Chains A and B, each alone.
Chain A
Amino acid sequence: MLTAVISGFIFALLIPIILGRLKSISTLWVALLPLTLFIYFLSKIPELLAGNPIKPSYQWVPSLGINLDFYLDGLSLLFVLLISGVGTLVFVYTSAYLKGHHYLDRFYAYLSLFMASMLGLVLSDNIYTLFLFWELTSISSFFLIGFNNDKKDSRKSALTALAITGFGGLFLLAAMVGLGQITDAYQISAMAPMADAIKDHSLYGWVLFFLFIAAFTKSAQFPFHFWLPGAMKAPTPVSTYLHSATMVKAGVYLLARFTPVLGSHEWWNGTLIIVGALTMVYAAIHALFRIDLKGILAYSTISALGILVFLIGLGSPDALLAASIFILVHALYKATLFLVTGIIDHETGTRDVTQLGGLNKVMLPVGIAAMLAALSNAGIPPSFGFVGKDLIYEATLGMGNLAWLLTCLAILTNVALLVAGFVAGIKPFLGKLPEKFKNVHLPAPSMYVPPLILASLGILFGLFPGVLEGGLIKPAVSSLTGTTPDFHLQLWHGFNLIFLLSLITIGSGTLLYFFLKPSESLLKKVSTFDRLSPQSLIMGISRGFALAGKGWTGFFQNGYLRYYLITILGFLSLLLAYRLFIGVDLLINTDVMTEVTFYEAVVLLVMAVAILFTVFSKSRLAAVASLGVVGYSFCLIFLFYSAPDLAMTQFSIDTLTVILFVLVLYNLPKYLKLSDTRVRIRDGLLSLIFGALISILALEVMSESLSKETSEYYAENAYILGKGKNVVNVILVDFRGFDTMVEITVLAIAAIGVFGLLKLHLRSTEKE
């Protein structure tokens, strides 16, 4: 099974190389990979039915609990078959749709990268690899949406999709970490038996919240739905594969997968029902007003995802059965409609439904596929959609008090979806063929055969639902509910309430289809409400963030050195002052201090005066000279307090500095008084406060006792190891000899810099 998952990744790496070599031949053979996978997973069914759980496990980072634990149960099987099955058809379709495209090799690479990630996602039992594959699907989706990277719209949509799904991915990680904390387990299959303990845990609410955000962003639930219509900028095979049949169902998969672990709690059911219902109604109504075929399909996909979330939220065995069926129903008809849209776009160059019509006359097989899909979408017998719709109504009717409300919402959604399906699947093919499309011709078989296959399956499964029941649906439902389900799928239930509801749906939907003509003016009217949509809100928030960030940066990173200094010092002063204020008693022990002699006091006084003079002097020369006085006073202090080396160094360095200053002084500008008195007082206050804080800090440190270990070591070993009697010198040239060497290097670099600056002649400036 590892091979099955990994093969897609390896294939993604190899394919650009292979296709680079084989430019001329058809790329149909690429579809062999998903086809092989499809057959491989089909062959696993008998093993699964025999009751053997298929759980291969490969060690990866066992110390962190990250292992490639795979788990193939009914639910995973349903998804892997969808992924590899639809994948096969999409690969075939692409070979004609993007025939001769410059980046076809890249496209296949991204597509197989996506397929492998998606397989990994639905097969993962380990919570961390689940997250890993989840993020991989977001990333490959980003590349695929932005495939037409020369278009600004594509890039923007790709970024929006990545931002939203990536944002959700982080929440998934949080949810998984939370679950790991609660259960101390890393395998989802090991968590199901602990379901009750998890629900009683205090972290349960958080885990649920994080998991929901992750699922809702990925599956485009309200209010995160708006990335999906944008994602329709991708080439049609991508919309078909990622944004209707597989990737957007990852969120649904996640919810379904965790139903046995986290489900059957009022928070779980309540949230999912509300969000799902809101999404399905909101998106279905939106779908009615679109005129772009892909836009219609995008909104109806969002609505269908809403239905799935809603059904999982209902949580009854009936609802979970309906969800499993509807996943399949929706994948079959929606993928068909997308592929058909791709053909229409490819052949006629437009996706505007108001302009399309009568295409049956020129591309009948495509029209048949589209109309079969529209029937299944509408739930008209004998399609598979009819079976699905029946089950949905059965599920909502079984909900006790709320039954009627929920059923009404479901009917409303289904009516709108039916109209949307008719507009997308029937309207372009019936009626009068516009003059300009007279020369449109049927595309290559590799383009129209895949939608035909999918659409016929949608009818075939409706006629013979028993085909699926044992092998696919029962295992899926049993992995959702944890019990062996007892049901029998059939097309015809006899005349009962549910059949009546179906009739109402079909009838009112068809009526609405004839009365509501999608048009540009209608779309414009509806668009005026866009200001209130979550998309505008979120965009507004992100603009606000950008503005706030700009303001913040502009305020603090203003380019003025002194304001940086003021910010840093002001903050530091506040912090220090606060710390000193809350709990430091100043202890000044005058007994241990050395006495002040007269000549020392004089030196210090001279120094203080020199410092003040340096600051307040109006003449540069005087300031530099008094700076020299400060330096020489330093020498004396060093001399008094047993630091002859320091005194010597300070003396020579200070002399040099003063000489240097004086040498260049006449090339330097005159002192100017640039700031006004208020600024001076502000700066003076800040400086005095900071100086005072440093003094207090120094006193504070002095009252602590000091560890002398290092200096004792040097004192003892200077002569014995370093053969020198001046300990400071021995430290510098022997114990820390390398430091000194680096220091000399620094000086040398500074000297080169000085030399360079003095000798540098810039031609442009010399002309001035």
Chain B
Amino acid sequence: MELLLVIIIGLLYAAGIYMMLRRSLVKLIIGLILLGNGANLLIFLLGKIVKGKPPIIGPNEKMLGEIYADPVPQALILTAIVISFGLQAFAIILIKRAYKVVKTDDLDEMYATDEDL
């Protein structure tokens, strides 16, 4: 399974970067999202994946048993997902706004500041 996940990670990175290299702003955002997902999966994988043992302490216990999924990467990824949502939401609205003002989403045509418009 890890091998397959590794391939998926590579694919996510490649797709994300390819999209970021496009000239369209919308594609840039999509690329950013894909890249972020790839990074999350990478962290998740490197924290050792364990099947069916969530880091939740049983009803009659005071600490986790021997084998459990690592909680630290999970906490990190949770934070990352939420933050990247903030970034995405802002970026999407920014694109919408920019498109409305400059009437293009081609990065190469956005070379003037709004004062020159």
Contact = CB atoms under 8 A, between A and B. Distances in A.
Interface string A542-567: 00000000000000000111100110
Q: Which 3 A-B pairs have the closest CB atoms?
A: A691-B14, A695-B10, A642-B69
Which secondary structure dominates chain B's binding surface?
Answer: helix
Contacts of A601: 4
A692 interface: yes
Contacts of A661: 92
B17 A687 contact: yes
Interface string B40-68: 11101111111111111111011110001
A341 B96 CA distance: 72
A626 B71 CA distance: 29
A23 to B, nearest CB: 47
A717 B55 CA distance: 12
Interface in A729-761: 731-732, 736, 739-740, 743, 746-747, 750-751, 753-754, 757-758, 760
Contacts of A641: 44, 49-51, 69
A762 interface: yes
A765 interface: yes
B26 A671 contact: yes
A717 B37 CA distance: 30
A494 B100 CA distance: 99
Given A641-B69, A743-B83, A695 B22 contact: no
Given A646-B77, A715-B71, A726-B56, A694 B10 contact: yes
B54 to A, nearest CB: 4
Interface size class of chain A, counting residues whose CB lies under 8 Å from the partner chain: 35 or more
A430 interface: no
Given A728-B74, A731-B75, A687 B15 contact: yes
A702 B106 contact: no
Contacts of A623: 30
Interface of A: 559-562, 565-566, 569, 588, 590, 593-596, 600-601, 604, 607-608, 611-612, 614-615, 620, 623-624, 627, 630-631, 634, 637-638, 640-646, 649-650, 653, 656-657, 660-661, 664, 667-669, 671-672, 674-675, 683-684, 686-688, 690-692, 694-695, 698-699, 701-702, 706, 708, 710-711, 714-720, 725-728, 731-732, 736, 739-740, 743, 746-747, 750-751, 753-754, 757-758, 760, 762, 764-765
B56 A643 contact: no
A683 B63 contact: no
B111 A559 contact: yes
Interface in B6-24: 6-24
A699 B10 CA distance: 11
15 contacts: A608-B8, A612-B15, A615-B15, A615-B18, A634-B41, A642-B69, A660-B88, A664-B93, A675-B22, A694-B10, A717-B63, A725-B58, A726-B57, A727-B56, A765-B100
B57 A725 contact: yes
A747 B81 CA distance: 12
Contacts of B12: 611, 691
A695 B63 contact: no
A727 B99 contact: no
B106 A674 contact: yes
A698 B6 contact: yes
Given A642-B50, A649-B81, A702-B45, A710 B55 contact: no
Contacts of A675: 22-23
Contacts of A684: 18
Interface of B: 1-24, 26-28, 30, 33-34, 37-38, 40-42, 44-59, 61-64, 68-72, 74-75, 77-79, 81-83, 85-90, 92-97, 99-101, 104-108, 111, 114, 117
Contacts of B95: 664, 668
Contacts of A594: 1-2, 49-51
Nearest to B26: A668
B15 A643 contact: no
Contacts of B85: 653, 656-657, 747
A92 B91 CA distance: 70
Contacts of B55: 642, 715, 726-728
Contacts of B47: 706
A627 B15 CA distance: 12
B14 to A, nearest CB: 3
B29 to A, nearest CB: 9
A692 to B, nearest CB: 6
Contacts of B106: 672, 674
B104 A669 contact: yes
Given A690-B13, A754-B90, A645 B78 contact: yes
Given A596-B1, A667-B96, A698-B45, A643 B62 contact: no
A562 B23 contact: yes
A746 B47 CA distance: 26
Given A727-B55, A750-B86, A607 B8 contact: yes
A728 B75 contact: yes
Contact of A731 (B10, B26, B72, B108): B72
Contact of B15 (A611, A638, A672, A762): A611
A732 B1 contact: no
B93 A711 contact: no
Given A561-B107, A596-B1, A691-B11, 20 more contacts: A608-B11, A611-B34, A615-B15, A641-B44, A642-B55, A656-B89, A657-B88, A664-B95, A667-B99, A669-B24, A690-B14, A690-B17, A699-B6, A708-B70, A714-B72, A718-B63, A719-B62, A747-B83, A750-B90, A757-B97
In the complex, which of the residues A640, A726, A731 has the most CB atoms of chain B within 10 Å of its own CB atom?
A: A731
A720 B42 contact: no
B93 A560 contact: no
A726 B58 CA distance: 9
Nearest to B54: A642
A674 B104 CA distance: 12
Contacts of B18: 615, 683-684, 687
B57 to A, nearest CB: 4
A701 B46 contact: yes
A719 B57 contact: yes
Contact of B107 (A560, A706, A732, A757): A560
A754 B50 contact: no
Contacts of B59: 725
Given A562-B20, A687-B17, A649 B101 contact: no
